[in-house]
Amino acid sequence: MQISNVTKSFGAAGHGPTVLQNIDLTVRENEFVSLVGRSGCGKTTLLNIIAGLERPTSGTVEIHGREVRGPGQGQGVVFQQHALFPWMTARKNVAFGFRDKSLSKSDKEERARELLQLVGLSAAADKYPREMSGGMQQRVAIARALALDPEILLMDEPFGALDELTRIELQQELLRIWEARKKTVVFVTHSINEALVLSDRVILLAPHPGRIERDLAISLPRPRPRTDPRFVALHEEIWKGLSS
Ligand SMILES: Nc1ncnc2c1ncn2[C@@H]1O[C@H](COP(=O)(O)OP(=O)(O)OP(=O)(O)O)[C@@H](O)[C@H]1O
């Protein structure tokens, strides 16, 4: 995926304040990239532009050389709030993710079952969102995003609303899925730890206007203990980058 010279202003005809300025970023196939930066530096806006949910004021995003002009070019999105349909069971919520008209209802349900197994929720397939914890609901949201087998998984603080233990558990799950399914992931987080545990690269964005401040390759082997001195040193480096 190639982001070239992307600038974004909101407001009438894009004349409002510049939120993102001259963003250039290439993400390789199967790469796990995190976007980190202060609140308001444009992380969500950039993710939405990659998802095709927002148009850049200028510049382009290309996936395999094709300009992104809307959703559905191989991007799957998971938001912080798990936006599940409350009247549908976990399995039906996931099955809803399939837009493939050639699949029969029973095929969709069968594949939904497989995806729920992948995210460790087989036993909860017939539960409704209100019967599930926040972590379980977020697993369903991940399964639903995977339903279309997207090449690129875009995740906007997907674990931000979860307690620390569930969050660590889901980080491990996500790495397992990423390794098994060979996805490219662009992941927005406020947590330096989370970015370091997960990513091949951490992109630090600076605010006003949002721009790329640092592009750090994280070459530590996974799993990455948070107490590893190299982990601690990288944490310190990112922390300094964010607070300067
Ligand atoms: N639809 C919109 N209309 C006008 N301004 C917007 C719109 N969406 C975002 N903004 C502004 O763009 C800037 C960047 O917002 P964005 O949500 O992308 O930042 P962020 O880095 O994701 O923030 P956070 O970490 O708090 O989620 C903010 O100043 C925000 O107010």
- Which strand ranges, in their side-by-side order, compose the sheet holding 201-206? 75-78, 152-156, 184-188, 32-37, 201-206, 211-217
Ligand 1 proximal residues by C-beta, below 6 Å: 10, 19, 37, 39-45
Please state the rounded mean pLDDT for residues 207-216: 95
> Residues spanned by CATH 3.40.50.300 within the chain?
2-74+150-243
CB count within 10 Å of CB 192 equals 20
The residue to which tokens 């987080």 are assigned: 189
Neighbours of 188 (CB within 10 A): 22
Secondary structure of residue 43 in the 3-state scheme: helix
The ipTM of this complex is 0.97
Please compute the mean of the pLDDT values over residues 169-186 and round it to a whole number.
92
- Site to probe by mutation for ligand 1, drawn from 9, 19, 192 as the one with most ligand atoms within 8 Å of Cβ, is 19
Is-contact 5 59, C-beta < 8 A?
yes
**SS3 of residue 118 by DSSP:** helix
Distance of CA 157 from the midpoint of ligand 1 (Å): 14
How confident is the model over 36-57, as pLDDT tens digits?
999 999 999 999 999 999 999 9
Top-level class of domain 2-74+150-243: alpha beta
Judging by DSSP bridges, how do beta strands 18-26 and 2-9 pair with one another? antiparallel
